Amino acid sequence: MTRRRIRGAVALPALGVLGAVLFWGLSGLPPFGNYHGIYGFLINHRALPQRHTTNAVTATVFDYRGFDTMGEEFILFAAVTGVVLLLRKTGEEGEDEPPEEEVRSDALRLFGMFAVAGGALVALWLIAYGLVTPGGGFQGGVALASAFALLFLAAGYGPWARRAKDAALDPLESLGASGYVIIGLAALISGLPFLTNLLGPGKPGTLWSGGSLSFINWAVAMEVAAANVILYKDFLEQYIAPLARGRG
Amino acid sequence: MLVATLVPLQASILGLVALAATAVALCRNTLRQILLSGVYGLLLVLLFVVLQAPDVALSMLVVTTVAYPLIVLVAIARTRAGGVDGSDGDDDA
């Protein structure tokens, strides 16, 4: 028997069992569009009168289960810290200057400039109106970091490395992460339960809807955006800088 | 309880998602595979939009079109022998 046939003989029974289990699970699913949850209906009816937010999803994330979201935010913080620790510069790699590699195509640079600016604008809009329309700190934060990452694609490693600096990113990330806790503690200091909406509830449909929630929203956005840029920065430093250096 | 039926638009996008997923799995060229996975992600975004889950769609949109391809591309550029300047052309732009 060739290796291919042996692999097939081993894989087929396993795939058959997996397929059967999946089919069994699928056949037991409720019909399409059948919604069993009660909390969805409850929050859809309560979010606007209680929290003055028209986007019930963001109200849920930052208020009804705000404490869980704080945990999630710190999962991201810890994950990024782990990556930074793993990809840190060791002694032999040294602290070289970033290689001066730039994209020379005018068309790409021009298109890229519009992409970066447009992306950043959309991201800020997603964050700012996170409590009004779909979006919010998490999505907007990732979008903002992605817009910044386009700078590398459109302008090259040199311009990217000059702008993505630890000195700016680390304080932003820490401020974002601690901001959430500070907003929570502010309520505690005032003698109210942790994360109570002190400034709320705000005016529905405006940038100020949700009160404290809008600050939590911006804190999360800052943390997520900075965390993602730090990730990109470390990846690019580790993987692309040696290549660019070899070429330059 | 709320019960909706699968409308033709949702069904056709679901079909496209299945097609794109198969294409990603069968593709042998890494660069094409990354691009295909981006297309697959975009189709998933469309599916979430027609299923009226805009918040999920937005998260998926930014992760699938920029963050994920960038990280994968960068990792592959380095691990591939000779790097992005190899015989495969301008893979880095």
CA dist., res. A194 & res. A183, Å (int)? 9
Calculate the average pLDDT of chain A: 87
On whether the CB atoms of residues A129 and A135 are closer than 8 A, the answer is yes
- Closest partner residue to A134 (CB to CB) among B5, B6, B54 is B54
Count of CB atoms situated within 10 Å of the CB of A43: 19
Q: State the nearest Cα–Cα gap between A233 and chain B, in angstroms.
A: 10
* B86–chain A Cβ distance below 8 A for any pair: no
**pLDDT beyond 90 at A237:** no
Tens digit of pLDDT for each residue in A170-212?
999 999 999 999 999 998 998 888 888 888 777 888 888 888 8
Phi/psi of residue A100, nearest 5 degrees? -90, 75
Best of B13, B47, B58 to substitute, by most chain A Cβ atoms within 10 angstroms, is: B58
> Residue A40's closest CA among B71, B67, B29, B1?
B1
For residue B85, list chain A residues with Cβ-Cβ distance below 8 A: 243, 247
- Stated pTM of the model: 0.82
Chain A contact for B63, CB < 8 A? yes
Predicted confidence band at A96 (pLDDT cuts at 50, 70, 90)? low
Task: Report ipTM for this prediction.
Answer: 0.73
pLDDT the model gives residue A179: 93
Question: What are the tens digits of pLDDT across the range A41-50?
Answer: 888 888 888 8
C-alpha distances in Å from residue A231, one per residue of A121, A159, B31: 21, 17, 22
- Identify the CA nearest to A123 among candidates A197, A47, A226, A211: A226
B6, B13, B51, B55, best to mutate vs chain A, most A CBs in 10 Å: B55
Q: At residue B86, does pLDDT exceed 50?
A: no
pLDDT of residue A4: 85
For residues A153 and A146, give the distance between their C-alpha atoms in angstroms, rounded to a whole number: 11
- Chain B residues lying within 8 Å of A35, measured CB to CB: 1-3
**How does DSSP classify residue A50?**
H
Q: Binning pLDDT at 50, 70 and 90, where does residue A91 land?
A: low
Q: In chain A, helix, strand, coil percent, each to 5? A: 70, 0, 30
User: Which residues in B lie closer than 8 A to residue A33 (C-beta atoms)?
Assistant: 2-6
The Cα–Cα gap between A234 and A46 comes to 43
Q: Distance, in angstroms, between A130 CA and closest chain B CA?
A: 10
* Residue A95 confidence (pLDDT): 57
Summarised one tens digit per residue, pLDDT across range B27-84 is 998 889 999 999 999 999 999 999 888 888 988 887 888 788 888 887 777 676 444 4
Q: Which pLDDT score, from 0 to 100, does residue A94 have?
A: 55
Verify whether the Cβ–Cβ distance A235 to B74 is below 8 Å. yes
The answer to whether the beta carbons of residues A146 and B66 sit under 8 Å apart is yes
| Three-class secondary structure assignment of A158-197 | HHHHHHCCHHHHHHHHHHHHHHHHHHHHHHHHCCCCCCCC
Of the CA atoms within 13 Å of residue B14, those in its CB half-sphere come to 9
Residue A214 CA to residue A221 CA, distance in Å, equals 10
